[in-house]
Amino acid sequence: MSSLMDPNGSLMSALRKMADIVLVNIMFCLVCCPVITIGAALTALHASMQVLAAGRDEQGDTVVRTFIRTFKEDFLPSTILWMVTLAMIAFLLLYYRVVQSMSGSLARVYQITFYVLVLIFLFGFQYLYPLEARFRLRTRDTLKNAWMLSIAAAPWTLLSLLLTAAAVYITVFMNPNAFNMAVFIWTVAGFGVLAYLSSFIFLRTFHRLGVFYELQDVDIGEQTEGALFMDEDHRKEDLMTFEDSVSDPDWNRRTDPEKEEQHREWVKATTGRGKKR
């Protein structure tokens, strides 16, 4: 019994994580209310859950503090991403209305193209805010890399989609009469739990595809093999060098000024230009 109540035991650790998820989930729901802030809220949610999934919260950077800091610092770029996301959704809805007004065999062809477009949208959408939460990229690079990464890691992307679909089906469609219970689950912990579980997929994908390098593992000016999303101008035979559209190696990006300065020197040495969004 005493081992179960051990502050450093697995049970207490799991309870602390669950409490963090609930707190962040409630904060996420609250800041989503103005609608325009959903993009920043999604970025903050994924940043917090990535910290929790990687165990960084035990090193002093609490998930609640991460959520607040990320929401403030990434508000503008995340809001721009959200505006782009809304524009894509509006286009898909308009396309659907046009397809529904058609008839005959041609309509079936356009219906197939509509479902393909929806699938492509969902593929890239999954990575938009996890990328914004993890890396310092320009908005256009985040958009480009999200879809490239979703295709390069197609099995993991499908797994993440299935995880989301299963969560929605179990809480909403399995028992349509329990709508109030579904609202309660998602308001209290649903978004946080889903983002936490998905973070293991995203972090594994970043690592396996070569976009999860730490600064101490890379020498200044070093060319690194296997890095994704390379600027063709900086390709040399089979080697690829990092550039500003790849990643920021520092965890949560803004914690160590000395590493920031090292990183700026590294970017200049490898690409000949500074780092900006």
Same domain membership, residue 239 and residue 169: no
Cα–Cα dist 112/236, whole Å:
41
Same domain membership, residue 179 and residue 123: yes
Same domain membership, residue 79 and residue 43: yes
240 pairs with which residues across the strands?
Answer: 224, 235
pLDDT at 213 over 50: no
Query: CB count, 10 Å around CB of 218?
Result: 18
The answer to whether residue 128 is domain-embedded is: yes
Same domain membership, residue 147 and residue 97: yes
Helix (H) or strand (E) segment spanning residue 214: none
Same domain membership, residue 230 and residue 161: no
Q: Tokens standing for 50?
A: 């990535």
235 pairs with which residues across the strands?
Answer: 240
Provide the domain limits for residue 246. Answer: 215-271
Q: Tokens standing for 70?
A: 């990320």
State pLDDT tens for residues 174-195: 887 888 899 999 999 999 999 9
pLDDT at 269 over 60: no
Same domain membership, residue 185 and residue 227: no
Among the ranges given (4-8, 38-42, 63-67, 239-243), the one the predictor scored with the smallest mean pLDDT: 239-243
Same domain membership, residue 229 and residue 176: no
Same domain membership, residue 238 and residue 122: no
pTM: 0.73
